[in-house]
Amino acid sequence: MYQNYIKWLIFTTAFAALIPTANAQFTTTDWALHDVGKIIEVVNNRGSLSGWGGDYEGLINAEFPAGSFVEHHGSIAPFYAGLSMDGQDTMVTTTSIYWWNSANELAGYSNAPWDTVHEVMRGDTVDIGEPDNPYYENYTAKAGQDFVTRYNDYNVASINNANHQPMFIDVYQRSWAWASPPMDQFVIYNIDVHITPNGSPVKDFWSGVFVQPAVGLVTGNQQNLDDYVTYHPEHNMVIAHDAPGNEGPDPYSPMGVKILPPERFTSENITWTFKWSEDPRVPRDGPRYQQVSDSTIQSDQVNPVNTKAILSFGQIDKLVPRDTVSWRYATIYGRTEEVVLEKSNLIDKLAPDFKVPQPPPAPDAEVITSNRQVELRWNKASEDFNDPNRSDSIKKAFEGYRVYKSTKSKNGPWTLLAEFDISNNEFGQNTGLKHKFIDTGLMNNVEYFYAVTAFSKPDTVLNFPAQETSQRANALAVLPGTKAPDKVGEVAVVPNPYRGDIDYNDMDPQWEKPDPTRQRWLEQDRRIQFINLPPRCIIKIYTLSGRLVETIEHSDPNQGFEDWNLTSNVNQAVASGIYLFTVKNQETGNTQTGKFVIIK
């Protein structure tokens, strides 16, 4: 193993010398969000569950329930550990920055577009990987949302880590998330570890996960300081809990991380290691291997701190090149520990196949907006769905549609507006199917969110509930309102006066709301709106003394309004007072003047 490592190091060093560049030019760092169920969890192609500087909405590694801004972990990272056959070399590979500070030990193969995180939705069958040499051929989605990626520990980014000795492993990762109960509160991660031909035989192989809890409201900025972990051997699971402390008196929901070891393991030939620590970092593979393989079962944590935990299983006596070790882990979320344990039992019941009834495909929906009104229309694509996973004899699993609205975001919370299902059968309300819904009495120029889902008949043989597509599968952001007038002359400002003693952020729907990456309202989120604007015009805002405060250009034939965040052209918040405005029609040259009041 060590000789192979030296050969590889010489090769990569020479290659890097020919092309002096950053590691990012050799490998692509990618992430995706599991978001079809009640969880939003980030997955990357470096072998961990964490964003690491991603720009996704919310910037939370694991949000439950969706839309709550409650985070549950800083990172979850599998690891792989073994000894050379002579016992002289220890090799441990991970991306756990929180346990061992081991960034870049695993990374994608290249910067090619196929070395990313691939999303495969239910019903899709695709080839994944290089076009002429896919690493998955005819991959068919298992769940409502599958992610597929791969990474290894011998790429250029990994070799440049001074403390890393590669095991020469390829890791193929598939993850499954479901949209409907009872499976919408966990995600299954499938890990296939392959010893490459460049590797050497490995003995006493261990694997497992690091868990860095961060249970709490993310805007508290201290949600990881009062967590504690407990071990549940009958479930092969660590549960992270939030204790009363920095975020307030009420703890948030716990999170479980459950391991499903390879099928070759039985209760007689498997050994577990469970540990927790506030600062468990060690710099070298020898002490790292000892940490994960010494079969210690530490007592449950009592005093909450900034906790890190480890759960590992072993040992596989020998692996040789071209051997593959396959195992799984699950992240499980629930409002109480009892719910987490119930979901763990369900996972055991469904493993290894996870063959369960599926929801119909989501319909394609479109929206037509008008004055204080939204009209939703959708097609019939869901209605011919035939689910091969059902245990009953029903040929057509489709049962109906549901229409939802949210005034907050595409992540909800959602309000059910209507349900339409097949008439004259033993299921549902028998309302009859419709493909149109009109929502009236809305506020113009305020954002609403709508979704149309499809749901199935329950499987009465399996005693499995009806399955429904995720609202996020086709959620639409909608702005009701009138079309832009052709002429200038009816422009108005709302609200007028703007009052600082009114909490516009607390309205439903919100008149002012934070940027999607945060929950807390800030000064730059203030909002007044110029309405009834012609398609092309220039708005100029002045103080009463005639000083120009801001210029806003408008160019939109469909949207007859523009927002202003009460900030001047030098990025200063404006003061209370009377302000003047002009709106010049770029098509005709005509100008309208007006005034509005700001009271802070």
Q: Are residues 421 and 290 in the same domain?
A: no
Alpha helix locations (H) across 294-376?
A: 337-350
| Measured torsion, CA atoms of residues 41, 42, 46, 52, in degrees rounded to the nearest 10 | -130
What integer pLDDT is reported at residue 58 of this predicted model? 65
Is residue 221's pLDDT more than 90?
no
What's the mean pLDDT in 156-171? 81
* Structure tokens given for 29: 């760092």
Q: Are residues 259 and 385 in the same domain?
A: no
Which residues, listed in sequence order, are joined to residue 476 by a DSSP beta bridge?
A: 450
What integer pLDDT is reported at residue 219 of this predicted model? 61
DSSP-based three-state secondary structure for 232:
strand
Is residue 288's pLDDT more than 60?
yes
Position 483 in a domain: no
Is residue 40's pLDDT more than 50?
yes
What's the mean pLDDT in 147-151? 95
Residue type, 272: W
Q: Are residues 89 and 33 in the same domain?
A: yes
Position 294 in a domain: yes
Position 359 in a domain: no
* Structure tokens given for 511: 């008149």
- Between CA 229 and CA 277 the distance in angstroms is 10
Residue 173 near residue 150 (C-beta atoms within 8 A): yes
**Could you tell me the CATH number of the domain that includes residue 527?**
2.60.40.4070
Q: Average per-residue pLDDT in the chain?
A: 88
Position 485 in a domain: no
**Residue from 496, 492, 520, 488 nearest 506 by CA:** 520
Which residues, listed in sequence order, are joined to residue 211 by a DSSP beta bridge?
A: 76, 309
Q: Are residues 234 and 324 in the same domain?
A: yes
Q: Are residues 591 and 464 in the same domain?
A: no
Q: Are strands 237-242 and 255-260 parallel, antiparallel or unpaired?
A: antiparallel
Q: How confident is the model at residue 247 (pLDDT cuts 50, 70, 90)?
A: low
| Domain C-terminal end among 320, 350, 380 | 350
What's the mean pLDDT in 221-233? 82
Residue 278 near residue 308 (C-beta atoms within 8 A): yes
Q: Look-up: residue for tokens 């296939």?
A: 192
Q: Are residues 453 and 506 in the same domain?
A: no
Which residues, listed in sequence order, are joined to residue 258 by a DSSP beta bridge?
A: 237, 330
Position 486 in a domain: no
What integer pLDDT is reported at residue 264 of this predicted model? 82
What integer pLDDT is reported at residue 107 of this predicted model? 85
Position 472 in a domain: yes
Residue 46 near residue 108 (C-beta atoms within 8 A): yes
Q: Are residues 517 and 379 in the same domain?
A: no
DSSP state of 406: E
* Structure tokens given for 397: 């699993």
What integer pLDDT is reported at residue 126 of this predicted model? 95
Is residue 436's pLDDT more than 80?
yes
The whole domain housing 572 covers 492-599
Residue type, 584: K
What's the mean pLDDT in 213-241? 84
**Residue from 518, 523, 520 nearest 57 by CA:** 518
Q: Are residues 72 and 196 in the same domain?
A: yes
Q: Are residues 341 and 369 in the same domain?
A: no
**Could you tell me the CATH number of the domain that includes residue 389?**
2.60.40.10
- Between CA 446 and CA 350 the distance in angstroms is 44
What's the mean pLDDT in 528-549? 97
* Structure tokens given for 263: 């099928």
Q: Are residues 54 and 191 in the same domain?
A: yes
- Between CA 421 and CA 414 the distance in angstroms is 19
Question: What percentage of residues in the chain have a pLDDT greater than 70?
Answer: 90
What's the mean pLDDT in 521-528? 92
**Residues 298, 301, 305, 310, CA torsion sign:** positive
What integer pLDDT is reported at residue 462 of this predicted model? 86
Question: What is the Cα gyration radius of the chain?
Answer: 28
| Domain C-terminal end among 478, 503, 534 | 478
Q: How do residues 76-93 score in pLDDT, each as one tens digit? A: 999 999 999 988 888 889
DSSP-based three-state secondary structure for 260:
strand
Question: How many other C-beta atoms lie within 10 A of the C-beta of residue 198?
Answer: 15
Please calculate the CA angle 384-388-392 and round it to the nearest 5 degrees.
95
Question: How many other C-beta atoms lie within 10 A of the C-beta of residue 132?
Answer: 6
**Residues 329, 74, 175, 346, CA torsion sign:** positive
| Domain C-terminal end among 478, 513, 540 | 478
| Measured torsion, CA atoms of residues 342, 343, 345, 351, in degrees rounded to the nearest 10 | 170
Peptide linkage before 359 cis (omega within 30 of 0): no
**Could you tell me the CATH number of the domain that includes residue 27?**
2.70.98
Cα 509 from chain centroid (whole Å): 25
Number of folded domains that form the chain = 3
Position 484 in a domain: no
What integer pLDDT is reported at residue 79 of this predicted model? 94
Q: How confident is the model at residue 15 (pLDDT cuts 50, 70, 90)?
A: very low
Is residue 365's pLDDT more than 90?
yes
Q: Are residues 92 and 212 in the same domain?
A: yes
Q: Are residues 81 and 203 in the same domain?
A: yes
What pTM was estimated for this model as a whole?
0.83
Position 272 in a domain: yes
